[in-house]
């Protein structure tokens, strides 16, 4: 275990150290962050595959004092270097996926084009490969007794981690902060699309008790049908619904506490940055008007922690990269720090 008693958190962060400027190795850290530089199936804006490195750089500007989680950083946070082979595979398959998306968007017959059929197969095989890689990396860390957080990449990235979490902790619920349901059976023909992560999670991870989605405001009718027929396996709090309740006199405290009652004792947090107002994440992959202020989500997360429920893991996805613009990474680094503090503190409860 790392001893950071003599580390001064008020000094300028040393970029030669690890995430948030902490002088911690992976062996010493209680919490290890796995970057997953992958965005093969993104359907609008790109750049999320390079978000982990941008968030790492931005983390050097984050003050470590958190009045809600005093000195949680002393438990040691460590972020692994991004795997360049995964990034290269993502870049290659992303180009293939773009050609395929352009082809089918024009109404062309897929079966009439053997090259496009091959491309679709390769992209889907790539998604399966990525899921297995994430599973193996995270399960190994969990088996070592580490707490684990995942940094995407697009929102397809945590499926393997969700499987590892289930095998390690048993039954659990997911608190999903997101502008989208992510419940499409497949999207554009891609089985492991960023738009299908929660559909795949319910289908492939038997330990998931339920998913509570907060902030949804852009979705398809097939997804809404799925929610209505899920027998409360998926519970959705729409962005519009939340705001209407607040406009009509209910407090965010009341609504946040209601949301938390829908979750079981063990909770995994899946934070798609597009759940926030776009001014906080202008370069996210699929931006939607509306969304939360950051302090609203932090309030919900703090209430979740205070409820006594156990936080068992998290992912942070869809942080975009703008040209000469580090704002998204700056916000992402602060979200990441809050998630790290919550997870580290939850273990000590």
**Cβ neighbours of residue 147 under 8 Å, at least 6 residues apart?**
30, 31, 32, 313, 343, 344, 347
Tokens of 20: 């948030």
Please give the pLDDT value at position 115: 87
Q: What is the pLDDT of residue 32?
A: 98
Q: Strand, helix or coil at 86?
A: helix
pLDDT at residue 110, as a whole number: 84
d(CA 35, CA 141): 13
* Dist CA 36 CA 81 (whole Å): 10
Rounded Cα distance, 92 and 102, in Å: 16
Cα–Cα distance for residue pair 93/39, rounded to 1 Å: 9
Rounded Cα gap, residues 92 and 286, in angstroms: 21
**DSSP sequence for 259-318:** HHHTS-SEEEEEEEGGGB-GGG-TT-SS--S--B-HHHHHHHHHHHHHTTPEEEEEEEE-
pLDDT tens series, the chain, 349 aa = 788 988 998 998 998 999 999 999 999 999 999 999 999 998 777 889 999 999 999 999 999 999 999 899 999 999 999 999 999 999 999 999 998 888 888 887 888 888 889 999 999 999 999 999 999 999 999 999 999 999 999 999 999 999 999 999 999 999 999 999 999 998 888 999 999 999 999 999 999 999 999 999 999 999 999 999 999 999 999 999 999 999 999 999 999 999 999 999 999 999 999 999 999 999 998 999 999 999 999 999 999 999 999 999 999 999 999 877 899 999 999 999 999 999 999 975 5
124 contacts: CB under 8 Å, gap ≥ 6: 189, 190, 191, 192
Q: For the sheet containing 172-177, what is the strand order?
A: 77-79, 31-36, 147-152, 310-317, 266-272, 172-177, 208-216, 234-238
3-state percent helix, strand, coil for the chain, nearest multiple of 5: 45, 15, 35
Which contacts (CB < 8 Å, 24+ apart) does range 54-57 have? 54/319, 54/321, 54/326, 54/328, 54/329, 54/332, 55/151, 55/316, 55/319, 55/329, 55/332, 55/333, 55/336, 56/19, 57/15, 57/326, 57/329
CB 52 within 8 A of CB 150: no
DSSP for 103-135?
A: HHHTT--GGG-HHHHHHHHHHHHHHHHHHHHHH
| CA–CA distance, 233 with 98 (Å, rounded to integer) | 33
pLDDT at 348: 57
Please check whether residue 145 is in contact with residue 47, taking contact to mean a CB–CB distance below 8 angstroms: no
The residues pairing with 269 across neighbouring beta strands, listed in sequence order, are 175, 314
Burial letters 2-11, b for 16+ CB under 10 A, else e: bebeebeeee
Predicted local distance difference test score (pLDDT) of residue 188: 86
Using alpha carbons, select from 265, 329, 266, 263 the residue that is nearest to residue 300. Answer: 263
Q: How far apart, in Å, do the first and last CA atoms of the chain sit?
A: 18
Q: Which two tokens stand for residue 23?
A: 């002088």
């Amino acid at each position: 275990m790392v001893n950071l008693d003599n580390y001064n958190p008020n000094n300028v962060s040393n970029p030669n150290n690890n995430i948030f400027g902490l002088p911690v190795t992976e062996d010493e850290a209680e919490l290890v962050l796995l970057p997953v530089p992958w965005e093969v199936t993104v359907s609008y804006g790109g750049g999320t595959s390079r978000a982990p490195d941008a968030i790492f750089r931005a983390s050097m500007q984050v003050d470590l004092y958190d009045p809600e989680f005093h000195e949680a950083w002393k438990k040691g946070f460590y972020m692994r270097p991004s795997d360049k082979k995964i990034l290269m595979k993502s870049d290659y398959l992303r180009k293939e996926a773009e050609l395929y998306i352009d082809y089918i968007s024009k109404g062309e017959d897929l079966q009439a084009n053997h090259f496009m059929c091959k491309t679709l197969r390769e992209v889907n095989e790539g998604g399966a490969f990525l899921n297995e890689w994430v599973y193996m990396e995270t399960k190994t860390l969990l088996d070592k007794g580490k707490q684990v957080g995942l940094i995407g990449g697009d929102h397809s990235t945590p499926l393997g981690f969700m499987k590892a979490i289930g095998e390690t902790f048993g039954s659990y619920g997911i608190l999903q902060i997101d502008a989208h349901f992510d419940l499409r059976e497949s999207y554009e023909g891609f089985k492991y699309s960023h738009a299908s992560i929660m559909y795949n999670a319910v289908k492939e991870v038997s330990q998931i008790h339920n998913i509570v989605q907060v902030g949804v405001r852009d979705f398809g009718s097939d997804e809404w049908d799925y929610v209505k027929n899920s027998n409360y396996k998926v519970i959705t709090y729409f962005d519009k619904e939340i705001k209407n309740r607040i406009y009509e006199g209910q407090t965010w405290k009341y609504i946040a506490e209601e949301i938390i009652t829908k979750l079981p004792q063990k909770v995994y947090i899946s934070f798609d940055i597009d759940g926030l107002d776009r001014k906080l994440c202008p370069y996210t992959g699929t931006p939607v008007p509306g969304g939360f202020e950051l302090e609203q989500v932090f309030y919900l997360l703090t209430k979740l922690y205070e409820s006594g429920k156990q936080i068992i893991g998290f992912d942070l996805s869809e942080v975009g990269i703008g040209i000469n613009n580090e704002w998204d990474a700056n916000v992402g680094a602060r979200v990441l720090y809050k998630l790290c503090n919550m997870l580290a503190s939850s273990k000590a409860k």
